[in-house]
Every structure is written in C-alpha cells, then in structure tokens.
C-alpha cells in the first residue's frame, strides 16, 4: 500500500521509473515534432538527458535526499541535449534545490519543489514561449500548490497533478498555431508527462525494469536508402479464416487472384474448416476485408517490414556512430594534452558542425575546436564543457549553429568558472560562418558579440531535405519521401525533385537587397549534380554573386545562404 511520504529509496525508484517510461516512449514523442525532418528529435534529446542523470542515480547504493539531488541535478545538467533536454534539466535543477533540504517529501514539499522547478526553468529561457513544456510544467505546479492545501494523500495528489498536466498539454495546440496546424500537442510537454506517469508507476510499486543503461548514440539519419525502397510491399500480413461459407476451388482461385492484385509472397492453404493466408501488401485492410466475406478471422498478425529493415539500418548506424565517438574522444584527449602545453591565448573559438567540407571551412576561419553534430545530433552540455576544456584561451566564443543547441551552450557557459565564455546565438551554419568572419581582434567580447549578432541577422538560410512522414504545413501537403525546401521561418518549397525544389527555395529567398548567395552541397549530392544546380541557380539573378562549396553534410542535400 502506498504511503503519504516519499523517502530517498522511494524517490530513487520513482526517478528511474520516470526515466525508463520516457525512454520507452521516445520514438512516439519524436513523431510529435512539427517539422517532418530527419533530425535530432525531442524524445531522443529528453531521453539522453534524463538517462545521463539516471545512470548516476542508479549508482547510489545508499540513497539520501542530498546525494540523490546532486546526482539528478548534475547528471541532467551535463547530459542535457536540445532545448527540450536543457529545459528538463532546469526543471530537475529547481526541484532538487527544494528536496535536498528535507528527509522525506510530503505533498507540501513536493508542491514547493514543483513551483521552484518551474521558476528555474522559465528563468533559463530568454524568451519563454507558452504552449510548450514550460506551460505544462507551470500548469502542474499551480495545481500542486492548490492541492497541497487540501490533501496529504500522496497518491491522489500525484494522480490529480498528472490529470491536470494532461489537460494543459491537450490545450497546447490552442496556444501555438504551428501545433494546431500540424495537428499535434507539444512534444516536450508530452515527454514531461511520460516522466511523471512513470514516476507514479514507481510510487505505486508497479513492476518496472530500473536498469539505467547508457542509451545508444543519437541516431544520425541518412538519406532514404535504395535497399529500403526495394521493399515494394511493406506489410507482412497473416491470418486464419474460420470458414462460414463454402470455399471451393473457384473461390480459392478468385481470392488468390485478388491477393495477387494487391501484393506478393502469397501463401494460401485451404482446409475443410479454415484457410491459412500469408501476403505482403501495402494495404492489409483490403486483404482482411475481402477475407471477411468467407468467415471470421483469427490469429491476425501484421508486421511492418520497412520498419524492421530500417531498424537494422539504424542499429548499424548507431554502432558506427559510437565507434566514431570513441575515436574522437581519444583524439580529443591527445589534442587537449598537447594544447595545455602551449601558452594560454587571449581568444579561442568553438563551433558545432558536421560534414568534412563545412569543417574545413571552419578550420580555415581559425576555429580551434569543432564539435561533431548539428541538426541530426544535438551535442550535450557535457560535450560543450569538454570542448571548452580543450581550448587553452581566456575568452572562448561558441557558435552553436543550430537553434536547438544554443541553450546547451549557454548552460555550459554558466557551468564554466575559469574562462570567459561568449555564446554567439547562431541558428544555422551560414550564420556561424558570417559571425566568425565579423570577429574583430582587439574589440571587447561584448562589442564582438553585438557586431556578430547584427551581421548574422542579415543572413537568410535555406535547407533542402526529405520528409520522414506525411503532414500538412505552411500551405504544403507533404508526403513521406517528398523533398522540402525549408527557410528560416517555415517551408518555402516542396515536391519530388531535389533540383526543382532547391531552385524554388532559392527563388523565394532572393529579393532586391540580395548580394551574395553561398551554396553548400551535401554528402548525398555528387559534384556533377551540384554544378548543374549551381548553373541554373546563377540564371535566377545576374546581379547576385554566387559561390558553390562542398559541405559534405548528411541529410541536407543543400544548405543555401543569402546575404
């Protein structure tokens, strides 16, 4: 029977249960992201964040409130990835500041902890936006404050808070038009609710696996694979028809002919009372509907073969990513040891980038350390701290080059004491390049940040990639596999052809003030195709200077900047 106070041992169980529940739902949460792009998604980022803390919590053999609070706070802060992960870590940071001062948690203590968690998270975001994880957290904190005055029953308290959190989450599409347009609730808010629901299960003593293993490396998605597309019919469909009508040879041939019209790999074995059916098809419903004409169905089994195939590709990619990370860490340690022997410099630079061509461009701009990552793999706060440790300079400028990485960089800035860290809020690779170019030696950090930010605001960025799911957004009906041209504020073009979509994207980005266009082609575009596109791009405007560079970035066929 549940008790009305939460001691350290129970809190450990609840936290690990919340982490495991989030991990089990991460792919579903990823699907809630508004833009259907193959990037580092909310569910993955939040899971990597909480699992960083869960491993530290799991290692505590004799938990008390102080060592649990430290493990939860420091583990999540250092492991935070993406905006949603950073906000989650700040919620934990605020909550643990309250609970570390008590021996047991009552409804009153938990209400205060929820309030402090929300206040801490809101302060961490420069421009808090309602309709997000912050709104859901605030709704639960407000409900907790109200209920704490009425009850000491912890179970009913937690259930009521979660019920209210779900209600607030359901209202997020009314607060953010982009959510309403996409027909989804906020993914970060959903992730937070899964943590809460898992924690409640832990409180109630439900059987849960509490092993906090290190999650796989963030998936670096790749362009659609030819091998995957060779699966013509995606669903392996099996069932048994319990015959209620005569199933003679004529009906057997008729049914088999129908199955051949909607799929392949057909096996049809008829007996006196039943028929065993196996078919690969893109519409299992048609096979089932036709079969119901002959009798009732049992043992229905439908497997998504494309998904199974893709999972294998993902596992292979994850293994490769982990091997790459291990090699990079060894290389970084060696480089760090060498750099610490050098005299300390006044200024250093760190940039986030992926793709050999883009990394060479940043190296040419005297960037000291490149963090592997970007849209497909958001670096953690700890990745930032490791990079800072390896740059031997008094003042270090960090260029996140992605809006979903800025908060992690700022969190690393606040955790660094022996160096001055300046986070330049570059949201794209082209903005980062422009920012570095506008650095002026001898100017103060404040002067340089202001000048860089002003120049970056003049840069328009367009990116060309493919859709990973169907959606309707920004006036476009997108289908899985379609090519999309995405600008700074939404989708600007879409269709089935990379070159056509890219040209339309560039055309929509150009205006009478445009002076320079830089085009970076990715790893999935060969040089000949890139040069053909560049030639057609030049025909769009004779008054604009254009440059073509090899970027080598995955996922994004082209990154285009207009200044």
**pLDDT, position 217:** 35
Rounded Cα–Cα distance for residues 316 and 16 (Å): 28
**pLDDT, position 181:** 76
Percent of the chain scoring above 90 in pLDDT: 56
Exposure of 529 by Cβ count < 10 A (0-12 exposed, 13-18 middle, 19+ buried)?
A: middle
Tokens 């808090």 found at: 128
What is the token pair recorded at 66? 């102080």
**pLDDT, position 306:** 64
Examine the pLDDT at 103 and tell me if it is beyond 90. yes
Task: For 248, list phi and psi in degrees, rounded to 5.
Answer: -80, -175
What is the token pair recorded at 386? 């490791």
Buried-exposed string 475-499: b where 16+ CB fall within 10 A, e elsewhere: ebebeeebbbbbbeeebbbbeeebb
Buried-exposed string 56-75: b where 16+ CB fall within 10 A, e elsewhere: bbbeeeebebebbbebbbbb
**pLDDT, position 36:** 65
Greater confidence, 118 or 344?
118
Q: What is the pLDDT of residues 302-348, one digit of tens each?
A: 887 766 655 555 455 455 555 555 665 666 566 555 555 668 899 99
Query: Measured between alpha carbons, how far is residue 338 from residues 342, 392, 452 in Å?
Result: 7, 10, 30
**pLDDT, position 177:** 83
Rounded Cα–Cα distance for residues 63 and 61 (Å): 6
Q: CA nearest 430: which of 519, 533, 341, 526?
A: 519
Give the number of other Cβ atoms within 10 Å of residue 81's Cβ: 30
Render 238-285 in DSSP notation, one character per residue: EEEEEE-S---HHHHHHHHHHHHHHEEEEEEEE-SSEEEEEEEES-HH
**pLDDT, position 231:** 60
**pLDDT, position 183:** 79
Give the number of other Cβ atoms within 10 Å of residue 33's Cβ: 22
- Give strand ranges (E) for 100-169: none
Cβ atoms of 493 and 485 closer than 8 Å: yes
**pLDDT, position 26:** 86
Examine the pLDDT at 280 and tell me if it is beyond 90. no
Which of these ranges, 72-76, 250-254, 559-563, has the smallest mean pLDDT? Answer: 250-254
Rounded Cα–Cα distance for residues 95 and 73 (Å): 9
Rounded Cα–Cα distance for residues 375 and 219 (Å): 11
Q: Confidence class of residue 206 from pLDDT cuts 50, 70 and 90?
A: confident
State whether residue 48 is helix, strand or coil.
helix
Mean pLDDT of 533-548: 91
Q: Confidence class of residue 81 from pLDDT cuts 50, 70 and 90?
A: confident
Mean pLDDT of 528-554: 92
Strand (E) or helix (H) holding 545: strand 545-550
**pLDDT, position 450:** 95
**pLDDT, position 207:** 65
Exposure of 541 by Cβ count < 10 A (0-12 exposed, 13-18 middle, 19+ buried)?
A: middle
Q: Confidence class of residue 39 from pLDDT cuts 50, 70 and 90?
A: low
Strand (E) or helix (H) holding 472: strand 471-473
Query: For the chain, what is the radius of gyration of the CA atoms?
Result: 27
Q: Confidence class of residue 279 from pLDDT cuts 50, 70 and 90?
A: confident
Rounded Cα–Cα distance for residues 487 and 460 (Å): 8
Query: Measured between alpha carbons, how far is residue 434 from residues 58, 67, 354, 560 in Å?
Result: 44, 45, 17, 13
DSSP one-letter code for 480 = T
Cβ atoms of 29 and 50 closer than 8 Å: no
Rounded Cα–Cα distance for residues 453 and 427 (Å): 11
Mean pLDDT score of the chain: 86
What is the token pair recorded at 180? 């309403």
Cβ atoms of 71 and 51 closer than 8 Å: no
Q: What is the pLDDT of residues 144-165, one digit of tens each?
A: 999 998 999 999 999 999 999 9
**pLDDT, position 307:** 65
Give the range with max mean pLDDT: 9-23, 31-45, 365-379. 9-23
What is the token pair recorded at 294? 């002959």
Mean pLDDT of 95-107: 94
Tokens 């052809």 found at: 497
Percent of the chain scoring above 70 in pLDDT: 87
| Count of helix runs (H) and strand runs (E) in the chain | 22, 16
Mean pLDDT of 509-516: 91
State whether residue 1 is helix, strand or coil.
coil
Mean pLDDT of 466-483: 85
State whether residue 103 is helix, strand or coil.
coil
Q: CA nearest 90: which of 46, 127, 130, 129?
A: 46
Rounded Cα–Cα distance for residues 217 and 317 (Å): 9
């Amino acid at each position: 029977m549940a008790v009305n106070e939460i001691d350290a041992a129970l809190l450990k169980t609840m936290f690990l249960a919340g982490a495991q529940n989030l991990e089990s739902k991460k792919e579903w949460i990823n699907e809630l992201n508004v833009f259907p792009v193959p990037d580092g998604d909310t569910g993955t980022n939040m899971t990597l964040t909480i699992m960083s803390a869960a491993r530290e919590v799991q290692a505590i053999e004799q938990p008390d409130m102080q060592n649990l609070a430290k493990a939860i706070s420091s583990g999540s802060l250092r492991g935070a990835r993406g905006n949603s992960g950073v906000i989650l870590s700040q919620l934990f940071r605020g909550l643990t500041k309250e609970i570390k001062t008590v021996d047991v948690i009552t409804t009153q203590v938990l209400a205060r902890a929820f309030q402090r968690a929300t206040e801490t998270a809101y302060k961490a975001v420069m421009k808090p936006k309602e309709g997000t994880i912050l709104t859901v957290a605030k709704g639960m904190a407000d409900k907790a404050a109200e209920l704490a005055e009425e009850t000491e029953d912890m179970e009913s308290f937690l259930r009521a808070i979660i019920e209210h959190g779900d209600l607030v989450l359901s209202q997020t599409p009314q607060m953010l038009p982009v959510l309403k347009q996409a027909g989804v609730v906020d993914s970060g808010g959903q992730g937070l609710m899964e943590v809460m629901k898992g924690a409640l299960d832990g409180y109630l003593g439900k059987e849960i696996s509490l092993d906090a293993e290190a999650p796989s490396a963030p998936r670096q998605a790749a362009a659609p694979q030819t091998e995957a597309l060779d699966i013509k019919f995606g669903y392996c469909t099996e069932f048994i028809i319990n015959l209620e009508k005569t199933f003679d040879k004529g009906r057997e041939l008729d049914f088999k002919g129908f199955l051949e019209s909607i799929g392949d790999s057909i096996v049809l074995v008829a007996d006196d009372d039943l028929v065993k059916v196996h078919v690969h098809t893109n519409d299992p419903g048609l096979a089932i509907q036709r079969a119901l004409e002959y009798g009732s169905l049992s043992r229905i089994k439908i497997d998504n073969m494309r998904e199974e195939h893709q999972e294998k590709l993902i596992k292979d990619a994850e293994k490769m990513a982990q091997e790459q990370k291990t090699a990079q860490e060894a290389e970084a340690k060696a480089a760090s040891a060498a750099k610490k022997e050098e005299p300390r410099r006044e200024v250093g630079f760190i940039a986030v980038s992926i793709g050999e061509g883009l990394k060479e461009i940043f190296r040419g701009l005297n960037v000291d350390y490149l963090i592997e990552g970007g849209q497909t793999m958001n670096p953690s706060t700890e990745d930032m701290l490791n990079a800072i440790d390896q740059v031997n300079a008094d003042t270090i400028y960090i260029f996140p080059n992605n809006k979903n990485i800025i908060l992690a960089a700022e969190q690393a800035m606040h955790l660094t004491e022996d160096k001055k860290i300046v986070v330049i809020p570059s949201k794209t690779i082209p903005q980062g390049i422009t920012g570095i170019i506008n650095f002026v030696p001898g100017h103060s950090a404040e002067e340089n940040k202001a000048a860089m930010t002003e120049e970056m605001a003049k840069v328009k960025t367009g990116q060309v990639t493919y859709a990973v799911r169907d959606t309707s957004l920004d006036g476009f009906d997108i289908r899985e596999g379609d090519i999309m041209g995405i600008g700074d504020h939404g989708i600007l073009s879409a269709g089935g052809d990379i070159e056509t979509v890219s040209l339309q994207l560039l055309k929509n980005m150009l205006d009478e003030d445009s002076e320079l266009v830089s085009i970076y082609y990715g790893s999935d575009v060969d040089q000949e195709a890139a040069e053909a596109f560049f030639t057609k791009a030049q025909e769009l405007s004779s008054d604009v200077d254009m440059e073509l560079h090899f970027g080598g970035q995955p996922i994004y066929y082209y990154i285009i900047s207009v200044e």
